[in-house]
Amino acid sequence: MPFEDLGTPSLLLNRDVFENNCRVMQERAQGAEVRLRPHMKTAKSVEAYKLATRGGFEGITVSTLAEADFFADAGVRDILYAVGIVPGKLTTAQKIQDKGVKLGLITDNAAVIPALDDEAERLGTTFSVAVEIDSGGGRGGVLSESADLLDLAAALKNSRRLSFEGVLTHAGHSYGFSTAEEIAEIAEQERLAVVRAAERLRKAGFSCPLVSAGSTPTAVFARSFEGLSEIRPGVYMFGDVDQLFIGTCKADEIAATVLTSVIGHNRSSRRLLVDAGGLALSKDISASIFSSQSGYGLVCKLDGTIIDEIFVESVHQEHGLIAAVSGNLPFEDYPVGSRLRILPIHVCMTVAAYEHYEVHDAQGSLVARWNRVNRW
Amino acid sequence: MPFEDLGTPSLLLNRDVFENNCRVMQERAQGAEVRLRPHMKTAKSVEAYKLATRGGFEGITVSTLAEADFFADAGVRDILYAVGIVPGKLTTAQKIQDKGVKLGLITDNAAVIPALDDEAERLGTTFSVAVEIDSGGGRGGVLSESADLLDLAAALKNSRRLSFEGVLTHAGHSYGFSTAEEIAEIAEQERLAVVRAAERLRKAGFSCPLVSAGSTPTAVFARSFEGLSEIRPGVYMFGDVDQLFIGTCKADEIAATVLTSVIGHNRSSRRLLVDAGGLALSKDISASIFSSQSGYGLVCKLDGTIIDEIFVESVHQEHGLIAAVSGNLPFEDYPVGSRLRILPIHVCMTVAAYEHYEVHDAQGSLVARWNRVNRW
């Protein structure tokens, strides 16, 4: 039986699929002559980093300073921390820079710049900061046509210890669409937001080397990367059920799955119980905007074949409840003690519950264990 | 500034509140003359265990074998693993028993009993197994009036290496109600489900020492515990926004909060950005059935005072977006770099993202760090 030496729940990673996903994106970026700075917030693994940057630019994007520190220790020398910086984090940032790393920081707030500058002064160091642009996602950033943009660049340029590096955006709202045309539109919006911001800045006399954009959907469906210095997708390495519906991957291109045991049959509620619940899968149900029958995960056999008839309908902390699409669950096909694999809805959230990946090849043989850097 | 030595996000635990919550439930159980076997699935901490069992029964409930092993090492000698057992987990279960622990297991499936028995035989040991009853939650368990109940007890009794211990249920559906009357009804349903199952079993000649029920809402609002040998609440130690709406705790009785930094101001979308996102808070939005303005967490000042006007409206992996109830966010009150605390929606999910609690007293002074046992 494949994976029989593993306990459940465990996090499996198909190395061959992962490697191919990395290769395809690297080729796409190189074909479009744009630098790929992969976002390591999902993978959080050194081995994954090596595959994601193979044959390309060696810099990365991270979502926590814990990741930055981890990858610094692994020898990465160009790291962009793509979450708004605050003065209280600069001591840690300095320690990472002191490991020989070119660490990029971002902000969208002019009012905090004096405090950042004071803290850099106190630490006796300098920091390179880019300005975050809101390209429609409504998360971080200022609008590219706003007065704030020039104010921010000026405040950075005029500080003692900070330098202005450029502009960055992330079209997180690309996750809400499922046609190539719609996502290509978002990609163009994302691209133009930073390209126009860079143009305004250059016209006003600022140097703007960093013009960074990217998410997996926009990286896959963009019609143009013109004017961008780099793209920063991350989820493409894995794929997941969200990406399947969005259309950036096929089912057999999903690299990570959760190995689970059937632990009960609830015949009165017609549910199969598995030991992968809210902690093992996460409570992310983002694919529900695309399908009422995706729930907390799709289900596949041990060999990876998807079982179309069932899905993880609900979760409790340590219980997953699998229901049949038809309502009629063939309990005899899933005896208690048997095992299944679950395709994650939103892989970034699911893999975060695990300390390592149990890495296997396309044939289902375990070949390695890759550590993750979790938390902050 | 309180907690200034901590990075963000960090998990704070108010020891005084936690201790009081433990004391109140212990007194309630003792007043009702029912044994309290606290569920450690939320706390997962030895120090928490000591407070939860102080002055009472020393046995506990756990949701993973990793917890069972952790508490066994800490000296706990009576542990109920309240998730359906499968043969593949018995090697681990045996190792825990070999540490001197009375380990209780559960099942709701007669078909797996021969395989459990064979595995116990192979391991040269015995296991004590209870039967899970579905008291209306539709998760694990057989119905108390079903034929399955007697079949399960008989299969356990007639096995070579397994013994029948009794019946257990959990009214998880109590979390969907918010009046004392409704929850008291669920509690009675929960109690009667196992009490009637025990009566049927005893009438059929089975000894049934374990008659176990419990969730925090039903433990708080039950009118009677008659016929139960024990109750198994867990969340009561902490409280959370769900429990606040359900009515089992007040806002100032919530023990765990997430310390976060304001990292950005998005003036176009009128959102405050904080560094506690989906990983730091979890994606659990269960309180949304009670309020459209709870989202991913309520917000309080560093001193713990709730700020009624704002809440965590959405999350991305490392970003929380705080919106104003009125739509009009006073950005000047929350400068970038300032800090807030977030009350968790469903504390079991939130605390699981952290390796330890930063424990503070009622005055906000850090007094300890308690480790958690996460994963499986």
CA angle B201, B204, B207 (to 5 degrees): 55
Distance from CA of A368 to the nearest CA of B (A): 19
Indicate the residue among B167, B201, B236 that finishes a domain. B236
- For B125-150, what is the mean pLDDT? 96
pLDDT at position A1 = 80
What's the mean pLDDT when you consider all of chain B? 97
CA angle B243, B297, A141 (to 5 degrees): 175
Which candidate in A12, A63, A96, A279 is best for mutational testing of the B interface (most B CBs within 10 A)?
A279
- For B201-215, what is the mean pLDDT? 97
pLDDT at position B1 = 80
> Is position A358 within any domain?
yes
For the beta carbon of residue B47, count every other beta carbon within 10 angstroms: 18
A285 plus A334 within the same structural domain = yes
pLDDT over 90 at B142, yes or no: yes
pLDDT at position A174 = 87
Q: Which residues of A92-103 are buried (b: 16+ CB within 10 A; e: fewer)?
A: bbbebbebebeb
- For B70-88, what is the mean pLDDT? 98
> Is position A135 within any domain?
yes
B221 plus B265 within the same structural domain = no
Closest CA to A31 of A176, A207, A231, A190: A231
CA separation for the pair A80, A39 (Å, rounded): 9
CA separation for the pair A68, A62 (Å, rounded): 6
CA separation for the pair A342, A333 (Å, rounded): 16
Instruction: List chain A residues with CB under 8 Å of B266.
Output: 108, 134, 138-141
Domain that holds residue B364: 255-371
Model confidence pLDDT, tens digit, residues A253-296: 999 999 999 999 999 899 999 999 999 999 999 999 999 999 99
**C-alpha R_g of chain A:** 22
- For A290-318, what is the mean pLDDT? 97
Q: How many CA atoms lie within 13 A of A174 on its CB side?
A: 32
> Is position B191 within any domain?
yes
CA separation for the pair B140, A245 (Å, rounded): 31
> Is position A243 within any domain?
no
A176 plus A54 within the same structural domain = yes
> Is position A79 within any domain?
yes
A233 plus A94 within the same structural domain = yes
φ, ψ of residue B272 to 5 degrees: the values are: -95, 135
CB atoms B336 and A111 under 8 Å: yes
Q: Check if B139 contacts A (Cβ < 8 Å).
A: yes
Give the CATH number for residue B287. 2.40.37.20
Structure tokens at A364: 């289902």
A233 plus A353 within the same structural domain = no
pLDDT band at B318 (very low <50, low <70, confident <90, very high): very high
CB atoms A349 and B263 under 8 Å: no
Closest CA to B27 of B59, B52, B49, B62: B52
Give the CATH number for residue B164. 3.20.20.10
Closest CA to A26 of A38, A17, A16, A14: A38
**C-alpha R_g of chain B:** 22
The residue with tokens 């990217």 is A214
The larger pLDDT score, comparing residue B376 to residue A172, is at B376
Q: Check if A349 contacts B (Cβ < 8 Å).
A: yes
pLDDT band at B344 (very low <50, low <70, confident <90, very high): very high
CA angle B281, A85, A194 (to 5 degrees): 105
Structure tokens at A4: 């029989």
ipTM exceeding 0.90, yes/no: yes
Indicate the residue among A237, A266, A296 that finishes a domain. A237
> Is position A6 within any domain?
no
A53 plus A128 within the same structural domain = yes
CA separation for the pair B370, A240 (Å, rounded): 35
pLDDT over 90 at B322, yes or no: yes
Interface of A with B in 249-268 (CB under 8 A): 261-268
Indicate the residue among A181, A210, A237 that finishes a domain. A237
Structure letter (DSSP) for residue B215: -
CA separation for the pair B263, A234 (Å, rounded): 22
Q: Check if B296 contacts A (Cβ < 8 Å).
A: no
Q: How many domains does chain B have?
A: 2
A191 plus A310 within the same structural domain = no
Model confidence pLDDT, tens digit, residues B265-309: 999 899 999 999 999 999 999 999 999 999 999 999 999 999 999
Which candidate in B96, B216, B265 is best for mutational testing of the A interface (most A CBs within 10 A)?
B265
A270 plus A229 within the same structural domain = no
| Crossing angle for the helix pair A65-73 and A90-97, to the nearest 10 degrees | 20
A221 plus A265 within the same structural domain = no
Residue A133 one-letter amino acid: I
B289 plus B216 within the same structural domain = no
pLDDT band at A102 (very low <50, low <70, confident <90, very high): very high
B232 plus B266 within the same structural domain = no
- For B65-79, what is the mean pLDDT? 98
Burial of A139 (C-beta count, 10 Å sphere; 0-12/13-18/19+): buried
A163 plus A292 within the same structural domain = no
> Is position B367 within any domain?
yes
- For B172-185, what is the mean pLDDT? 92
> Is position A22 within any domain?
no
CA separation for the pair A282, A347 (Å, rounded): 9
